[in-house]
Structure 1
Amino acid sequence: MGIVARRGYLVIAAAVAMGGVSCAPESGSAPPNIRVEIPHDPVLTGTVTATGGGELVIDIGLARPVVVALAGIAATDCGAGSREAFDAGVGELAPVDAPVVLVRSGAAVKPGYDLAAFVHIGTVRGVAAEDVGVNEALVQSGRARLDPPLDRGAAAAPVQDQIVAQVAALPSPDREFIGVLAASETEAWQGHIGPIGRCASRQEELDRSRVPAAVVAPTADSLPAAEYPVAPADPAPAAETPVAPNVRIEVTVQRPPRPRPCERIGRC
């Protein structure tokens, strides 16, 4: 019955009882007004009975199926077709009649849902955070993002710091799953996979447009003469004291003549 099985449970039942069938409510209407007591078990098993609007309707053995939100993720907002890609991915990964294991989220449940969960296909209850489930597969294919979202702009805080802050604020078991989901989102973002790849391209263009122009040092040609700093000219070298040419002075010493011996005795 598709979406009819999800939202029109009471309407169909009442119509059949009266001998007629009426139109089922749209996918955005409230779940059937049958009060059910959902077990407090951290892990539940069931069968998909309907999908639509990015949510799952799962029979877990109660008076009516429960409406399940996919914990920790949301559809991307990366242009036309993003929401449709998310919804189609949910139906593709968790088709009607598929057996599922629900690891219940510890976070508050949004209005319109019975519970939020990390959904895995199969019947094995021992699910680990590293096992690829519906939530992670949607993120890996670029059809979903983390919720709340990460800011991957160049001016934002480092992505790892944002993840650490999110994990610190989450209850268990959500904190065990968020790191795995964030790693899958990073791979899809960097690989430009699916709709989130369009977001990555748009962010890259935005970051490039915000890069300041390179600062160029001024030159003599780029500044007016009055503004360009001119270093004072080097002072002229001091005049050198002229040096007289080399003068060679020769001194001749003449000895007085020696008297002859005869002159000494006056007999010459």
Structure 2
Amino acid sequence: MTTHDWPVIWAGPEWRAEVSAWIGDVLHAKGCRITGPIEQPRIQFWSTQLVVPSDRGRVWLKQNNAGQSFEAALVARLAELAPGRVVEPIAVDHERGLLLSPDQGPTLRGRDGGTAADWTGVLAEFGALQRQLSPYAAEIAATGRPGLRARDTPAYVEQRIDELARLGGGDPRGLSREDAAAATMALPELVDACTELDASGIPDSLQHNDLHDDSAFPSVAGAAEVRRFRRRRVEPPVRRAAHRERVDGASARHDAAGSPGPLSPATPPPPSASPNC
């Protein structure tokens, strides 16, 4: 199955019926009832989502393509390793990579992108989550996503530039000749940044690569959430040029009231409210 097959599958009636039946069974087992039509707000080549109205509030179903299907298992494991910091799934189908989660309200984009204080809290909380997860690199990797050390990143990026440039402009993943040349020219800066990072002593942890105003959102408790777990790895927290090249994501809460100091022990904020189902 190619990347291009997934949008076709997700738009088809067979997939929709199969997944809708799974959602219905899960919610019924938890004492919830679907109260209206299930909507599919978006289909991308990397994932799709369904929005399900229920008598306990909206829930979201997400499925990624095969290369990122580990997300469901990762989210479930993070909920165990860092309770109160991540959105706990309602249910996960590990074999198919299905992730069912409670609705978390509007994103920061829906609220004018959030304030500087919102984003200070988001970044501080994700850094705290990284510190909390740093002892669990093996457990996170066991969800299906291999790690990427700082020292290995330049070679990885160089290989990916070549692979994506070979795809050509007709593939949505492809790099144009100009973009591939620009990325190659930036490799020495990446090497320097990764060398500095590797020597810093910062422990390996989970790294985010999709942190924007439509991924973070206020919760009912006044904190903020980070959602969308598409690309992620177990690797050192990145800074400077390395941040532009390295990949991956997680879902974290933040407490806008304050932020832990550098490498200080993380104290989880209280979990926000969510439907019982």
TM-score range relative to shorter protein? under 0.3
**When the two structures are superposed, what TM-score results if normalisation uses the length of structure 2?**
0.25
Which structure: larger Rg? 1
- Flag the structure with higher helix content: 2
Which of structures 1 and 2 has the larger relative contact order (alpha carbons within 8 angstroms, sep 6+)? Answer: 2
TM-score by length of 1: 0.26
